[in-house]
């Protein structure tokens, strides 16, 4: 896949350049998932409802309940939460698993940033530790996995046992890991083998039982499977010589190789490689690549129902399914570069991360912390007759039936076997998470990437050409001073001097280690053409980012809205144009087949609910402030027609242009959705009611006619100063310019600082 873009000369309104990083974030445990104690979770629910839930185990109906969390220095009560059973086979067990939803009956509600929690009974695992240990390994390898901890669950005051509290994988999860959540998130369950079925994306909407094997959890209104179909096509049908370049263009291979090594090491037979089950794929819109995310890691470390010897199984032929295909794993093992990296990650697991001198004391600590509660767990013995002796023994030795290995026994055997099998070859440097922002002509061009290698790196640089001329080089640094985050974190950054108008730039990133192993990505250079623009005059004219009570959409909801204005002399077809709240994803929301006449306005509802109509976007506006952009068609390389970065917005306040299509931007006293701003932009009578002096301010102090509370904002809407009952306000840190002073009761005035 060739990257080709064009950058044009255009006016960017209030645009603040920034660098973001798409490397997965690994959020701290926080109070919800702190595993230094065993918090108590209470569920209060009507007893008749609870009986119905237990008598209808296949139901997905959520019932009203009260949720109480007590532990880790907090006590919180949330009423009106959703409560139901979760899981697959565990629904038929005595010790069941539960889902708690905070936003089912109160849309938009979150608890510590979470919309849902999974309370897993772990009835197959006598140690109640396998999934907890697995998720810790996922995190140690730098991969995006759910946070988790042990909790005590009580329902209507009755102890239901020791559970694992696991973070739910949803749009909040991917937002916290990848800094975006507008991509497709697929939950992949049996029989999700990623086998090619045809070029039509709809063939991957196959239903197994009562659900899709590849179940789209976000953007469900669009129901677009083209990105998944493209990945599967490339994975299955790309010739061997082209495979490395083609797959790295659309899939985060390097992190998947870590995930595959984890699955093989912990014997996650209920995952993708063996059972074509239990994983997520997320289309990361900042990198435009699919990400692999683990799911459901309890059947591991020697849990077995098939009579397999998982601890010594071939790490390079782990699927062993004959004619059945697992292309995501087998194609990686067939490619030497990927196979070598997989081997290196396996060796890291064997030598470092699962070192018994470090890992086993951690296991013992967690075991001893939960043991007193396991001994009192009334549901713990019901499925397999387990007692507290089985709990302790399950860490050391087999206890019969499906528990063929103790956890420590399995780890020791797997380490020995994997170490004897692993191939020790030199590996290429890893170049991942490449990021850049499209520059203006003449503007310095910053590039960043994650780069790592087993051997010390000798060079990391950008190789670039201007107008297809001689190759030039810019060194990437990991020193914290080159838009590279922090020093020594394997994030490298470099700057290419600005390229003037009517010139082109092409570039790639290369890395070479001390042994001479090298890598260069992307395989095809990124190409940027700097050209003048003659595009149509289409504008973001005004918007309301916190519509609480001003105007409703056709569904009667107070959704945020954006007004688009055609300031051109000719009609403009909107069907190939885009709105976005993410500068790295310019084609986030496509306008419908609508033509806007000269001087005409149109209202778009930013409500993340495309099912309500063609003018409803797949994103919401952030009242705390964010980016908003209007982009042209793909054929113009998504030319930016109009962009703005705005600050904090007040309820039912509109931010817009003083004149239609013109400057400045300011708070408008009266919103005018669908009509001109010119005749009713600012209520001058309100301005006159607030007396300030001197104005202009020249000595750093502003005096008001009486003590008031309010704020001073710039023309971008950013709050610079807040004040409480002040009559004298210091402005020493305010740069010369035009500002707005507003009081809490709505009075405002223009303020000039000289």
Task: Tell me which H or E stretch contains 242.
Answer: helix 240-250
Q: Which of 239-243, 254-258, 290-294, 630-634 has the lowest mean pLDDT?
A: 630-634
Query: Which of 432, 632, 672, 404 has the alpha carbon at shortest distance from 533?
Result: 632
Task: Return the bridge partners of 70, or none.
Answer: 40, 75
DSSP readout, 190-203?
Answer: TT-------S-GGG
User: Domain 684-753 carries which CATH code?
Assistant: 2.60.40
Token representation of residue 21 = 């990083």
pLDDT value at 191 more than 80: yes
Whole-angstrom Cα distance, residue 276 to residue 283? 19
pLDDT in tens, 36-73: 999 999 999 999 999 999 999 999 999 999 999 999 99
**In the prediction, which pLDDT does 586 show?**
87
- pTM attached to this predicted model: 0.78
Distance (Å) of CA 243 to CA 208, 233, 234, 240, 255:
30, 11, 8, 5, 17
The CA-based diameter of the chain, rounded to the nearest angstrom, is 86
Strand, coil or helix: 718: coil
Chosen CATH of 538-668 out of 1.10.1740, 3.40.5, 2.60.40, 3.30.160: 2.60.40
Query: Which of 724, 580, 743 has the alpha carbon at shortest distance from 667?
Result: 743
Strands 601-606 and 560-566: antiparallel
What is the DSSP code (8-state) at residue 578?
Answer: E
Q: Which of 113-122, 171-180, 708-717 has the lowest mean pLDDT?
A: 708-717
Identity of the highest mean pLDDT range in 438-447, 533-542, 558-567: 558-567
Distance (Å) of CA 521 to CA 21, 410, 483, 509:
17, 39, 19, 5
The 3-state DSSP composition of the chain as helix, strand, coil percent (nearest 5) reads 20, 30, 45
Is the Cβ–Cβ distance between 652 and 714 less than 8 Å?
no
Q: How many residues does this entry show for the chain?
A: 754
Contacts of 143 (CB under 8 A, 6+ apart): 24, 255, 258, 259, 262, 294
Read off the pLDDT of each residue in 533-555 and give the average, rounded to a whole number.
84
Whole-angstrom Cα distance, residue 393 to residue 70? 30
Is the Cβ–Cβ distance between 67 and 78 less than 8 Å?
yes
Strands 518-531 and 4-8: parallel
Whole-angstrom Cα distance, residue 433 to residue 287? 7
Distance (Å) of CA 690 to CA 597, 633, 655, 727:
40, 46, 20, 12
pLDDT value at 694 more than 80: no
Distance (Å) of CA 333 to CA 260, 330, 336, 423, 483:
10, 5, 7, 12, 35
What band does 339 get if pLDDT is binned at 50, 70 and 90? Answer: very high
Whole-angstrom Cα distance, residue 721 to residue 713? 7
pLDDT in tens, 95-104: 999 999 999 9
Whole-angstrom Cα distance, residue 95 to residue 97? 7
Is the Cβ–Cβ distance between 22 and 179 less than 8 Å?
yes
**In the prediction, which pLDDT does 611 show?**
76
Give the chain's radius of gyration (CA, Å): 29
What is the DSSP code (8-state) at residue 497?
Answer: P
pLDDT value at 637 more than 70: no
Read off the pLDDT of each residue in 433-450 and give the average, rounded to a whole number.
84
Domain 431-530: top CATH class: mainly beta
**In the prediction, which pLDDT does 160 show?**
98
Task: Return the bridge partners of 566, or none.
Answer: 538
Direct distance between the N- and C-terminal alpha carbons of the chain, in angstroms, rounded to an integer: 52
In 98-185, where does DSSP find H-type helix? 130-140, 171-178
What is the DSSP code (8-state) at residue 634?
Answer: G
Q: Which of 101-115, 286-300, 697-711 has the lowest mean pLDDT?
A: 697-711
Whole-angstrom Cα distance, residue 210 to residue 187? 14
Q: Which of 81-85, 128-132, 402-406, 617-621 has the lowest mean pLDDT?
A: 617-621
Is the Cβ–Cβ distance between 67 and 42 less than 8 Å?
yes
Distance (Å) of CA 590 to CA 189, 375, 605:
30, 57, 13
pLDDT in tens, 221-267: 889 999 999 999 999 999 999 999 999 999 999 999 999 999 999 99
Q: Which of 508-517, 558-567, 607-616, 637-646 has the lowest mean pLDDT?
A: 637-646
What's the angle, vertex CA 565, arms to CA 562 and CA 568, rounded to 5? 160
Distance (Å) of CA 715 to CA 95, 166, 564, 665, 701:
59, 44, 20, 6, 20
What is the DSSP code (8-state) at residue 399?
Answer: -
Contacts of 719 (CB under 8 A, 6+ apart): 647, 648, 711, 712, 713
Is the Cβ–Cβ distance between 425 and 340 less than 8 Å?
yes
Domain parsing of the chain, residue ranges: 30-421, 431-530, 538-668, 684-753
pLDDT in tens, 584-605: 788 899 999 999 999 999 999 9
Burial class (CB within 10 angstroms; exposed 0-12, middle 13-18, buried 19+) of 422: buried
Whole-angstrom Cα distance, residue 539 to residue 641? 7
Whole-angstrom Cα distance, residue 647 to residue 41? 39
Mean pLDDT of the chain: 89
Determine how many CB atoms are found less than 10 A away from the CB of residue 597: 12
Omega of the bond leading into 439 within 30 degrees of 0 (cis) = no
Half-sphere exposure of 565 (CA within 13 A, CB side): 21
Task: Return the bridge partners of 284, or none.
Answer: 289
- The label of the residue with tokens 């919309």 reads 115
pLDDT above 70 covers a percentage of the chain that reads 91
pLDDT value at 710 more than 50: yes
What is the DSSP code (8-state) at residue 636?
Answer: G
Query: Which of 749, 671, 666 has the alpha carbon at shortest distance from 711?
Result: 749
């Amino acid at each position: 896949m060739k990257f080709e873009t064009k950058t044009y000369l255009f006016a960017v309104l209030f645009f603040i350049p920034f660098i973001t990083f798409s490397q997965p974030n690994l959020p701290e445990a926080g109070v919800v998932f702190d595993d230094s104690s065993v918090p108590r979770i209470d569920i209060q629910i009507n007893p008749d409802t609870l009986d119905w839930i237990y008598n209808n185990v296949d139901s997905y109906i959520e019932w009203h309940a009260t949720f109480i969390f007590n532990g880790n220095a907090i006590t919180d009560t949330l009423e009106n939460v959703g409560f139901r059973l979760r899981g697959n086979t565990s629904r038929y067990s005595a010790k069941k698993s539960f889902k708690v939803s905070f936003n089912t009956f109160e849309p938009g509600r979150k608890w510590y940033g979470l919309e849902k929690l999974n309370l897993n009974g772990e009835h197959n695992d006598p140690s109640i530790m396998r999934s907890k240990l697995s998720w810790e390994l996922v995190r140690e390898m730098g991969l995006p996995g759910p946070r988790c901890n042990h909790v005590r669950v009580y329902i209507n005051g009755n102890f239901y046992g020791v559970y694992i509290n696991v973070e739910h994988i949803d749009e909040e999860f991917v937002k916290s890991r990848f800094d975006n959540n507008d991509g497709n998130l697929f939950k992949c369950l049996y029989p999700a083998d990623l086998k090619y079925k045809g070029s039509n994306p709809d063939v991957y909407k196959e239903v197994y039982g009562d659900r899709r094997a590849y179940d789209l959890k976000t953007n469900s209104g669009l129901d677009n499977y083209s990105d998944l179909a493209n990945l599967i096509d490339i994975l299955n049908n790309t010739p061997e010589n082209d495979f490395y370049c083609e797959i790295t263009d659309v899939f985060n291979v390097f992190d998947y190789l870590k995930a595959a090594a984890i699955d093989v090491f912990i014997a996650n037979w209920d995952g993708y490689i063996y059972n074509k089950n239990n994983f997520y794929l997320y289309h990361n819109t900042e990198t435009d690549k699919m990400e692999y995310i683990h799911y459901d890691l309890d059947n591991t470390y020697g849990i077995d129902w098939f009579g397999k010897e998982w601890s010594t199984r071939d790490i390079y032929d782990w699927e062993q399914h004959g004619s059945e295909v697992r292309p995501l794993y087998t194609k990686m093992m067939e490619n030497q570069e990927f196979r070598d990296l997989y081997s290196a990650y396996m060796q890291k697991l064997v030598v470092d991360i699962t070192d018994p001198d470090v890992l086993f004391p951690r296991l013992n600590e967690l075991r001893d912390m939960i043991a007193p509660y396991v001994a009192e767990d009334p549901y713990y013995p019901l499925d397999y007759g387990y007692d507290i002796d089985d709990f302790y023994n399950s860490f050391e030795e087999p206890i019969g039936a499906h528990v063929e290995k103790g956890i420590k026994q399995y780890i020791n055997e797997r380490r020995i076997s994997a170490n004897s099998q692993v191939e020790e070859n030199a590996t290429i440097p890893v170049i991942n998470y490449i990021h850049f922002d499209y520059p203006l002509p003449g503007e310095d061009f910053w590039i960043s990437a994650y780069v790592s290698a087993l051997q010390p790196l000798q060079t990391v640089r950008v190789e670039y050409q201007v107008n297809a001329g001689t190759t030039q080089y810019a060194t990437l640094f990991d020193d914290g001073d080159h838009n590279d985050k922090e020093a020594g974190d394997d994030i490298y950054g470099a700057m290419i001097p600005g390229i003037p108008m009517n010139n082109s730039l092409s570039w790639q990133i290369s890395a070479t280690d001390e042994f001479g192993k090298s890598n260069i990505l992307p395989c095809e250079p990124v190409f940027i053409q700097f050209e003048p623009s003659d595009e149509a005059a289409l504008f973001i004219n005004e918007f309301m980012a916190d519509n609480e009570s001003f105007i409703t959409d056709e569904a009667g909801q107070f959704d945020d809205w954006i007004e688009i204005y055609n300031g051109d002399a000719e009609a403009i077809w909107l069907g190939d144009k885009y709105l976005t709240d993410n500068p790295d994803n310019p084609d986030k929301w496509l306008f419908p087949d609508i033509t806007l006449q000269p001087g005409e306005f149109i209202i778009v509802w930013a409500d993340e609910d495309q099912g309500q109509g063609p003018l409803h976007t797949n994103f919401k506006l952030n009242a705390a402030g964010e980016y908003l952009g209007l982009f042209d068609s793909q054929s113009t390389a998504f030319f930016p027609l109009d962009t703005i970065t705005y600050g904090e917005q007040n309820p039912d306040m509109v931010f817009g242009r003083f004149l239609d299509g013109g400057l400045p931007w300011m708070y408008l006293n009266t919103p005018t959705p669908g009509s001109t701003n010119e005749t009713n932009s600012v209520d001058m009578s309100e301005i006159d009611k607030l007396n300030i002096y001197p104005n202009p301010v020249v000595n750093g102090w502003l005096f008001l006619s009486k003590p008031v509370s309010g704020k001073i904002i710039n023309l971008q809407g950013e709050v610079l100063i807040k004040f409480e009952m002040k009559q004298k306000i210091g402005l020493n840190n305010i740069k010369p310019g035009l500002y707005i002073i507003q009081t809490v009761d709505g009075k405002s005035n223009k303020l000039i600082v000289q």
